[in-house]
Amino acid sequence: MNEASDAVVDVRDVAYTVGGRPIFDGLDITARRGRITAFMGPSGTGKTTLLRLITGQAYAERGSVRVFGEEVSKMSSKELFALRRRMGMLFQNGALLTDLDVYENVAFPLREHTDLPEPLVRQLVLTKLHAVGLRGAARLMPSELSGGMARRVALARAIVMDPDILIYDEPFVGLDPISMGVICRLIKQMNEALGITSIVVSHDVQELATIAHDSYLLSQGRVVASGTPAELARSDSAEVRQFMDGLADGPVPFHYPADDYRNELLNGGPK
Amino acid sequence: MNADTDSLPVAALRRIGAMTLFLVQVLARIGPALLRPGLIVRQIYNAGARSLVIIMLSGMFVGMVLGLLGFDVFQRFGSEDYVGVLAALGNLKVLGPVLTALLFAGRAGTALTSEIGLMKSTEQLTAMQMMAVDPVRYVVVPRFLGGFIAMPLLAATFTVIALYGAQLIGVQQMGVDAGAYWSQTQNAVDLHDVWEGVVKSLVFGVAVSLVAVYEGYHSQPTPEGVGLATTRTVVISSVLVLLLNYLLTAAFLRTH
């Protein structure tokens, strides 16, 4: 398989800092066509920042971020908007537009970008809603939905323009086991049935293991391990073990950097 | 270049600069936004129709107070006939536009800021960007235009009701002769005074709406951030309205 032409998202040697703190330093990541790629890592390792780099909401200070072979940072805002029309993104809490009902939320991209006649819009919207099992909820407002339902509606909205890439930002956070299973199955389904290249950012190791083809473990600004979920599960690197087994202390320290404990307690600490 | 360590004047200048740039962004998108009149009409309803009751109620009380105050002052000089003049000029030139703008900032401005701020903190604005929809065009411009259109209409409503309130006290209750009351008013007020009120309410409409959408759009996407932004909307737009009111009053002043 030709890996270079197969890469839909290709991140090379990227550096990025926020307020003087390095988030990434020499990050290399590839998401290949038609596969589900998972980015895992502890909170605060810049998983969401990575998504912002890929979608052109932020630009790397060094290195290259290519999507469909095009350098994201060199795109004009018009090209960037054209690129985003080929991407669907599922936000952590759905990010549904609160003043529109479920139906209009899913129809929103169609109304903004196409001139389709109403019967066709209706058909597309109902098809996508049916795919996520919420055709019956079409006339509910976002405030009437549970967390899991809101995310499914957001998924329907993300696929309504038939994107080539689907990006999931923490799709499992705060869901009950049933909703989690539903979302998991949907991610797999979207990938298999529609051939959509999927990128999932999450720290739910178990869920990801069942769906991801490739996975990356990020920690402290770089990739500490990559491979299939099974390979990661077998790895004996300290960083991988700490994350996979949920150990409190390890390469990611339990204690936030502080002065000497004894000194601080007995001497009232540094003046 | 550190926003945290700026002294007050520098911070104020920085904000004025940022707001001006934002205004340019908004103005540049008015054309495309006009293609979706439905969105603007909804915002006129939100900012205008929903503020109507408080504006009318306040206008009534302000007019009535002017009637009392005018009567109290002018009767000391034996010239109660001038109550109408005070009420008309005071309302048209100053109180109508200024009080409407202050009430509008409290009622509609805060609603705009917190609505946009909440949309930001729930990632709705980012989601729009990801759907290749410009949130300034879709969210900000219709709200700005809605406020800009609603504000002068509300000021006009306020002024008319206040004039009615003043004559209710002056003529009906205090017994000033209706003929004298209205003829003195007619003699004193000319078109220039009406223009002053119209221009002021247009300018205040831009100022309050701009501050409200700017603060919402640039709020920190957290519950505290949205709360702070809402507070800033009231503080900044109120001070701005009073400052602009002084400048415009000075600009419109004619020496006879």
- Residues of B within 8 A of A154 (CB-CB) are 127
- Asked whether residue A4 carries a pLDDT value surpassing 80, the answer given is no
What is the pTM for the complete model shown?
0.85
Residue A88 phi, psi dihedral angles, 5° rounding? -115, 140
In percent, the amount of chain B with pLDDT more than 90 equals 85
Position A218 scores a pLDDT of: 85
Cβ atoms of residues A64 and A110 within 8 Å: no
- pLDDT tens-digit series, residues B168-188: 999 999 989 999 999 999 999
Contacts of B132 in chain A (CB under 8 A): 81-82, 84-85, 109, 112-113
- Residue ranges covered by each domain of chain B: 8-252
Q: Is the pLDDT of residue B255 over 80?
A: no
Strands A165-169 and A214-219 come out as unpaired
Q: Is the pLDDT of residue A40 over 70?
A: yes
Verify whether the Cβ–Cβ distance B122 to A112 is below 8 Å.
Answer: no
Chain B partners of A89 at a C-beta cutoff of 8 Å?
A: 127, 130
Please choose, from the candidates B220, B213, B189, B224, the residue with its C-alpha nearest in 3D space to the C-alpha of residue B92: B189
Q: What are phi and psi of B180, to 5 degrees?
A: -65, -45
Q: Would residue A268 be called left, alpha or beta, if left means φ above 0 and alpha means ψ between -120 and 50 degrees?
A: left
Report which DSSP code applies to A76: -
What is the pLDDT confidence band of residue A19, given thresholds at 50, 70 and 90?
confident
Contact B129 A84 (CB under 8 A): yes
Cα A62 to its chain centre, rounded Å, is 22
- Do B131 and A108 lie within an 8 Å CB cutoff? yes
Interface of B with A (CB under 8 A): 118-119, 122-124, 126-133, 138
Q: In this structure, what DSSP letter does residue B140 have?
A: I
Query: Can you tell me the mean pLDDT for B96-108?
Result: 96
**Can you tell me the distance from the alpha carbon of A199 to that of A36, in angstroms, rounded to the nearest whole number?**
6
Question: How do residues A155-199 score in pLDDT, each as one tens digit?
Answer: 999 999 989 999 999 888 888 888 888 888 889 988 888 888 999
In angstroms, rounded to a whole number, what is the distance separating the alpha carbons of residues B98 and B243? 10
Distances (CA, A) of A246 to A232, A239, A249: 14, 10, 9
Rounded Cα–Cα distance for residues A142 and A152 (Å): 11
pLDDT digit string, tens, across residues B194-204: 999 999 999 99
- In this structure, how many other beta carbons lie within 10 angstroms of the beta carbon of residue A5? 9
> Which pLDDT does position A2 carry in this prediction?
47
Comparing alpha-carbon positions, the chain A residue that sits nearest to B35 is: A112
State the average pLDDT for chain A.
86
State the pLDDT at residue B101.
97
Which ipTM did the prediction report? 0.82
Mean pLDDT of B7-11: 87
Can you tell me the distance from the alpha carbon of B136 to that of B229, in angstroms, rounded to the nearest whole number?
18
CA angle in degrees (0–180, nearest 5) for B184-B189-B190: 135
Chain A nearest CA to B205, separation (Å): 24
Which of B124, B126, B128 lies nearest to residue A98, judging by beta carbons?
A: B124
CB contact under 8 A, A95 and B131: no
Q: Which residue of B has its CA nearest to A107?
A: B131
To test the contact with chain B by mutation, choose from A86, A112, A166 the residue with the greatest count of B C-beta atoms within 10 A, namely A112
d(CA A187, CA A168): 9
What residues of chain A lie within 8 A of the CB of B123, using their CB? 91-93, 95
Confidence bin at B96 (pLDDT 50/70/90): very high
Tell me A98's DSSP state.
T
CA dist A219 and A41 (Å) reads: 6
Q: A42 to chain B, minimum CA–CA distance in Å?
A: 22
> How far away is chain A from the Cα of B122, in angstroms, using its nearest Cα?
6
A62-67 and A222-227: which strand pairing? Answer: unpaired
How many A×B Cβ pairs under 8 Å? 48
Shortest distance between the Cα of B130 and any Cα of chain A, in A, equals 6
CA-to-CA dists, residue B124 to A89, A91, A185, B116, angstroms: 12, 9, 25, 9
Cβ contact (<8 Å) for B124 and A82? Answer: no
pLDDT at res. A130: 93
Mutation test of the interface with chain A: which of B1, B25, B121, B130, choosing the one with the most A Cβ atoms within 10 A? Answer: B130
Contacts of residue B129 in chain A, CB cutoff 8 Å?
57, 84
Full DSSP string of A194-217 = H--EEEEEE--HHHHHHH-SEEEE
User: Beta strand A21-32 with A7-18: parallel, antiparallel or unpaired?
Assistant: antiparallel
Whether A269 shows a pLDDT value over 70: the answer reads no
Q: Based on the number of CB atoms within 10 Å of its own CB, is A184 exposed (0-12), middle (13-18) or buried (19 or more)?
A: buried
Burial annotation B85-94 (CB, 10 A radius, 16+ → b, else e): bbbbbbbbbb
Cα→Cα distances A265→A62, A63, A271, Å: 43, 45, 13
DSSP one-letter string for A114-168: ----HHHHHHHHHHHHHHTT-GGGTT--GGGS-HHHHHHHHHHHHHTT--SEEEE
Give the helix/strand (H/E) hosting B157. helix B141-167
pLDDT exceeds cutoff 90 at A17: no
Integer Cα distance of A198 and A2 in angstroms = 19
The pLDDT confidence band at residue B1, using thresholds 50, 70 and 90, is very low
In 3-state terms, what secondary structure has residue B79? coil
Nearest CA in chain B to A54: B130
Mean pLDDT of A41-46: 78
Mean pLDDT, residues B156-169 taken together:
95
- For residue A233, CA distances in Å to A36, A111, A202 come to 17, 45, 16
- A85 SS3 class: coil
Q: Which residue has the tokens 């002052």?
A: B73
Partner-chain contact B132 A92, CB within 8 Å: no
CB contact under 8 A, B130 and A55: yes
pLDDT single digits (tens) A57-88? 888 888 899 999 889 888 888 899 889 989 99
Using a CB–CB cut-off of 8 Å, the residues of A that contact B are: 55, 57, 81-82, 84-85, 87, 89, 91-93, 95-98, 108-109, 112-113, 154, 157, 161
* Other CB atoms within 10 Å distance of the CB of residue B13: 11
- Confidence check: pLDDT of A135 > 90: yes
Distance in angstroms (rounded) separating the CA atoms of residues A136 and A122: 14
Give contacts of A81 with chain B, Cβ < 8 Å. 132
Q: B131 and A92: CB-CB below 8 Å? A: no
Is the Cβ pair B127, A98 closer than 8 Å?
Answer: no
Longest dimension (CA), chain B: 70
> Mean pLDDT, to the nearest integer, of B120-124?
92
E-strand ranges in chain B read none
> In the structure, what pLDDT confidence band is assigned to residue B121 with cuts at 50, 70 and 90?
very high
How far is Cα A60 from Cα A81, in angstroms, rounded to an integer? 18
Give the tens place of pLDDT for each residue, A214-265: 988 888 778 888 888 888 778 777 777 887 777 777 777 778 888 888 888 8
Per-position DSSP letters for B13-41, written without gaps between them = HHHHHHHHHHHHHHHHTHHHHHT-HHHHH
Question: In angstroms, rounded to a whole number, what is the distance separating the alpha carbons of residues A198 and A8?
Answer: 10
